[in-house]
Structure 1
Amino acid sequence: MKILIELEDLSYTYPNASEPSLKNINLSLEKGKFVALLGSTGAGKTTLSLCLTGLIPQLLEGKLSGRVRVAGKDVGKNAVQTLAKVLGLVLQDPETQIIGRSVEEDTAFGPRNFLVPAKEIEQRIDQSLATVRLTGYNQRLTEELSGGEKQRLAIAGVLAMEPEILVLDEPTSELDPLGRSEIYDTLTDLRRKKNLTILLVDHSTEELMDKVDEVVVLNQGELVWRGIPSDLLRNLPLLRRWGIKPLPVSEVGWEFYEKGWISLAEIPLDISSAESLIRGLLPLYGNRPGHPLDGVKYLGKSHNQVQQHGENLRSKREPNHSEKVLAVEIKDLTYQYNSGKSALRGINLTINSGEFLALIGQNGAGKTTLAKHFNGLLQPTSGEVIIEGMNTLRVDTSELAKTVGYVFQNPDHQIFSATVEKELEFGLKNAGYRGSEMKNRVAEVLEYTGLEPYRSVHPFSLGKGERQVIAVASILVLKPKLLIIDEPTTGSDWTGVQTMMALIEKLHSAGTTIIMISHDMDLVAQYAKRVIVMKDGEITLDGTPQEIFSNEEVLRESFLAAPQLCKLSLQLKDVLGPQFFVKASEFLGMFESGEQRGC
């Protein structure tokens, strides 16, 4: 089989860096293979991708040793534009590679530079946009696209160039769940039809594992693992060590494995396997069968235990509404872009102080547009938005900023100071704080967020996860009553995700109203107490996570999907009764002990 990518003893150190980002990497990829490159933030995944394109070392200086060959071409001896004809790269941040004013203009940029005939370019544009679910967007302005739509456009622009090799650096991190699935299905289809070689850099594993041939793992610049996906996914200690999110159903299986009830090979990798496993274990390790639960035969805990378990879970998740103060009140809100496109239609919504609410929906549904009305970044075309009693049409944005904190989808869009400390001071200075009060607030938030060790460090010398925490911290110094967090975990490894969500949960416990925009349904199910589904600028569903993720029809129409463990709960409805589990450890609660029953 022909080798299309070959790395020999590849090492690379960025300018002024004390440690290499890549250390003696040896890797070869055969033509037609689909390989996932996994690893924590800072593992070297993006650096390796840039080495394949020739951007390192031709445009980014530094110390490189070893050899990189792509489609038989020595990367160090061929121009970047020459390599671009055989290898297409989709960058992690889509805005860095979108240059056209309209969707059509941007998609056509690559083929035009390759002097592809005009008629063929038109065909490639339509085909590429259809592939990423952007049909009909040809004349849309790129500046009006949502984050997820921009990500789709970046992928379409590379697909239109018809490369022999595709390297994608977290290409679906900002896409809705079905959008991610569609992109992965498209890549699988392209690989099969055109025998493409695909290297996909990602933190996620759920949608990938039945599609890729093998997995390569980088850790601290070193290649530490290579093999078939199932072998890696069943080894949870390795996944956790390397900052890779385990499959939720595999976490359930690991609970049973640690009890000694199943072998490593029996750890499930999909919902049906997990369901079969649980049903098989219940007669052996579950409580005595026969206890009724709302008319359902329950094979796990007794009715009283289950009822108490559910009440405990709810008490942990429900906010205290004793004062019933409205944080947000929206009346008949509509909003239109300058182009005339309607983004929000007839929104009516109230949010109580202290709630933890998640906004979910497909890319372009209007989630971020709605949230930007809460702090005055956008003004209603018609209708009213009232925040903590203040009408946003009558209050300056600077005044709203004292009450509403907004953390952008990309933290790098709001970080610009030379040190972490100065970044936190900036907002306080604008709000009129000086001297000891400012210093005390900064010190308090640095300690609260765990950023104290980085006080004098330049933010951009830190990883994406740390920069996201800095963005949150820069808002917290103003002590907002309401915090909006737009995709708080995009691009973070699993360790970074857990750190960020622990901080958000800590803020919520302290009484802050949280509004989280997210495409990560696992996080929404685990942390949000109320979920709002949006589609085409309208609210289509409003309820608890259980109510939302049980409504498969609305989810499907909104291009969403319930998380794995919610689906597993629904599959086990006859066993669980009204219970709805969102954490792996909760499934272990169905079993009283590790003592096997039987004759």
Structure 2
Amino acid sequence: MNTAIELKNVSYRYPSAVEPCLKNVNLTVEKGKFIVVMGASGAGKTTLSLCLNGLIPQLLEGELTGQIDVAGYDVRKTAVQSISRILGLVLQDPETQIIGSTVEEDTAFGPRNFLVPLEDIKWRVNQALDKVRLKGYNDRLTEELSGGEKQRLAIAGVLVMEPEILVLDEPTSELDPVGRSEIYETLDDLRRKKDLTILLVEHSSEEVIKKADEVVVLNQGEVAWSGVPTELFRNIHLLRQFGIKPIPVSLIGWNFYERGWISLDEIPLDIPSAEGLIRRLLPKCGYQERMDLPLKQESHIPEKEAAVQICELIYQYNSGPPALQGINLTIGAGEFVALIGQNGAGKTTLAKHLNGLLKPTRGSVIVDGMNTSQYDTSHLSKTIGYVFQNPDHQIFSASVEKELEFGLKNAGLKGQEVKERVNDILLYTGLDRYRNVHPFSLGKGERQMVAVASILVLNPKLLIIDEPTTGSDWVGIQTMMALIRKLHNAGTTIIMISHDMDLVAQYAKRIIVLKDGCITLDGNPQDVFSNEEILLDSAIVPPQLCRLSSRLKDVLFQKTLIEPDEFYAFFKSGGKT
């Protein structure tokens, strides 16, 4: 079998860095294999991917040692543009590789540069767009695409080149659940039909565990572990050590394993095996069949004063159909609301109306008693905090401290009050150690925290946060969500956009589902996630534990469980929910 990628004793140090980012990495990837690279933020995953197409060392300076061969070519001695015909790289931030003004123009950019015949280009473009669920988007302006749609476009721009090797750096972090599944199905299909070699950098595991041949874990720039996925994801201690998110059903199995009820090899990694295991273990907790009991329904209707009132909101971009089509919505002060839906459903468009970044084409938006059409964003920002999907869109100062100072000074605050507020928020968010660091020298998860801190320092009543955990490792995700929960408990109204259904189920108290600019579901997590048919129509897959709970309705009183602790409690109580 031919070798597609080979690294021998590769080390790399960024300019001015004290420690190398990669340390003596040895890695061999055989042709046609699907390899997943995992690890905590800052482990060296992105740096490794940049080494594979020659961006390191040819465009990014620094000190590189060791040997890197791609399809038999020495990366040091082969031009980046030549390697790009063999190895396609999808970067972590899709906006860095979107060039064209329209979707078709951007997708066609690569083959045009290599003088592919026009008819072939048109066919390739349409094929690539179809594979990433952007069929019919040819004339859409790229600047009007959602974050997830941009991520799909970046993947299409690489697939259209028909490379032998595909390297993807978190390519689905901003995609809806169905979209993630579709991309991985596409990659798996390409691998089998075209003998494509895939190296995927990923934090999420549920979609790839059955597709990957091998998982390679980086830790502080070194290869800390490698092997088959099942061995890694059944070892919860190892996952915690490396900062990798466990598969939800495996946490239930780990609990049974620690009780001595099952062996390590019996820990489930998918829903069918988890269901079978739970049914088999029910007699151990003294479970007996019994009749269903009525469930108390939690109301999502706000009891407090309204923080947000939206009436017949319609919004039309320059291209495409209306992004919002008659939205009516009330959100009470102090609520924790999650907006979910497929890419392009209108989530971010709706959120941008809440702080005046967008003004209604028709209808009205009232936030904290202010009609957003009658106030500018600078005035609204004193009450309404907005954290963008891409933190780099709102970071521009030379240090973390100055980033936090900017908003306060712009609001007219001075001297000691500015200093005290900045100090408090730096400590509150855990960013004090980065006070004098340039934000763009930090990882994406840390930059996201800086963006949040720059808003929190203004002490907003309402916080809108768009994909707060994109690009973060499991430790970073838990840190961010603990902060958001702390803010909510202190009385801040939270509106969160997220494609991570596990987080939505665990933290949000109310979920609003959007599809094609309309609200299709609105309720508490248990009610919303029990509507699998409607959710699938909106490209949403309920969290793994909710789907497991649905398959166990006959023993759980029809109740939807959303956290591992609820399953533990069920067994601890002898099967009494």
- On whether the aligned pair clears a TM of 0.5, the verdict is yes
Alignment of 1:7-86 (within 5 A): 7-86=7-86
Question: 1:432 aligned to 409, 412, 417, which one?
Answer: 412
What is the CA deviation profile of residues 231-266 of structure 1, one whole-angstrom value per residue up to 9, with x for unaligned ones?
011011111111111100001111111111111001
Letter in 1 for 2:433: P
Preserved CA contact (<8 Å) 2:550 2:558: no
The answer to whether 1:465 aligns with 2:445 is: yes
Partner secondary structure for residue 230 of structure 1 = helix
TM-score by length of 1: 0.94
Q: Find the counterpart in structure 2 of residue 289 from structure 1.
A: 288
| Structure 2, unpaired ranges of 5+ | none
**How far apart, CA to CA, are the structure 1 residues paired with 2:266 and 2:505?**
26
Q: Find the counterpart in structure 1 of residue 338 from structure 2.
A: 358
**How far apart, CA to CA, are the structure 2 residues paired with 1:55 and 1:373?**
39
What is the CA deviation profile of residues 364-396 of structure 1, one whole-angstrom value per residue up to 9, with x for unaligned ones?
000000000000000000000000111111122
The answer to whether 1:148 aligns with 2:148 is: yes
Preserved CA contact (<8 Å) 1:35 1:215: yes
Q: Find the counterpart in structure 1 of residue 89 from structure 2.
A: 89
Q: Find the counterpart in structure 1 of residue 551 from structure 2.
A: 571
Residue 99 and residue 10 in structure 1: after superposition, are their counterparts in 2 closer, same or farther (change >3 A)? same
Preserved CA contact (<8 Å) 1:149 1:363: yes
Letter in 1 for 2:48: L
Q: Find the counterpart in structure 2 of residue 302 from structure 1.
A: none
Partner secondary structure for residue 60 of structure 2 = coil
Question: CA shift at 1:410, angstroms?
Answer: 1.1
Count of equivalent residues? 574
The answer to whether 1:583 aligns with 2:540 is: no
Q: Find the counterpart in structure 2 of residue 443 from structure 1.
A: 423
Q: Find the counterpart in structure 1 of residue 252 from structure 2.
A: 252
Partner secondary structure for residue 6 of structure 1 = strand
Letter in 1 for 2:288: P
Runs of 4+ that moved beyond 4 A: 290-293, 318-322
Preserved CA contact (<8 Å) 1:5 1:70: yes
The answer to whether 1:487 aligns with 2:486 is: no
The answer to whether 1:544 aligns with 2:524 is: yes
What is the CA deviation profile of residues 191-221 of structure 1, one whole-angstrom value per residue up to 9, with x for unaligned ones?
0110000101100100001111111111110
Q: Find the counterpart in structure 2 of residue 304 from structure 1.
A: none
**How far apart, CA to CA, are the structure 1 residues paired with 2:513 and 2:124?**
34
TM-score by length of 2: 0.97
Question: CA shift at 1:456, angstroms?
Answer: 2.0
Alignment of 1:202-241 (within 5 A): 202-241=202-241
Question: 1:511 aligned to 477, 481, 491, which one?
Answer: 491
Residue 480 and residue 110 in structure 1: after superposition, are their counterparts in 2 closer, same or farther (change >3 A)? same
Preserved CA contact (<8 Å) 1:319 1:354: no
**How far apart, CA to CA, are the structure 1 residues paired with 2:320 and 2:154?**
24
Residue 521 and residue 288 in structure 1: after superposition, are their counterparts in 2 closer, same or farther (change >3 A)? closer
Compare 28-37 and 451-460 and name the one that shifted more.
451-460
Partner secondary structure for residue 571 of structure 2 = coil
Preserved CA contact (<8 Å) 2:289 2:555: no
Q: Find the counterpart in structure 2 of residue 263 from structure 1.
A: 263
Question: 1:336 aligned to 291, 297, 316, which one?
Answer: 316
Question: CA shift at 1:593, angstroms?
Answer: 7.8
Preserved CA contact (<8 Å) 1:38 1:45: yes
**How far apart, CA to CA, are the structure 2 residues paired with 1:433 and 1:341?**
43
Preserved CA contact (<8 Å) 1:328 1:351: yes
Question: CA shift at 1:505, angstroms?
Answer: 0.3
**How far apart, CA to CA, are the structure 1 residues paired with 2:287 and 2:89?**
57
| Structure 1, unpaired ranges of 5+ | 296-306, 595-599
- Give me the identity figure in percent: 70
Q: Find the counterpart in structure 2 of residue 369 from structure 1.
A: 349
What is the CA deviation profile of residues 173-195 of structure 1, one whole-angstrom value per residue up to 9, with x for unaligned ones?
00000000000000000001100
What is the CA deviation profile of residues 29-55 of structure 1, one whole-angstrom value per residue up to 9, with x for unaligned ones?
111111111111111111111111001
Letter in 1 for 2:555: V
Preserved CA contact (<8 Å) 2:300 2:510: no
Question: CA shift at 1:290, angstroms?
Answer: 4.8
Two-structure CA RMSD over aligned residues (Å): 1.6
**How far apart, CA to CA, are the structure 2 residues paired with 1:384 and 1:526?**
32
What is the CA deviation profile of residues 336-388 of structure 1, one whole-angstrom value per residue up to 9, with x for unaligned ones?
11236411110000000000000000000000000000000000000000001
Residue 290 and residue 163 in structure 1: after superposition, are their counterparts in 2 closer, same or farther (change >3 A)? closer
**How far apart, CA to CA, are the structure 2 residues paired with 1:243 and 1:415?**
26
Letter in 2 for 1:460: F
Partner secondary structure for residue 575 of structure 1 = coil
**How far apart, CA to CA, are the structure 2 residues paired with 1:457 and 1:159?**
37
**How far apart, CA to CA, are the structure 2 residues paired with 1:320 and 1:204?**
33
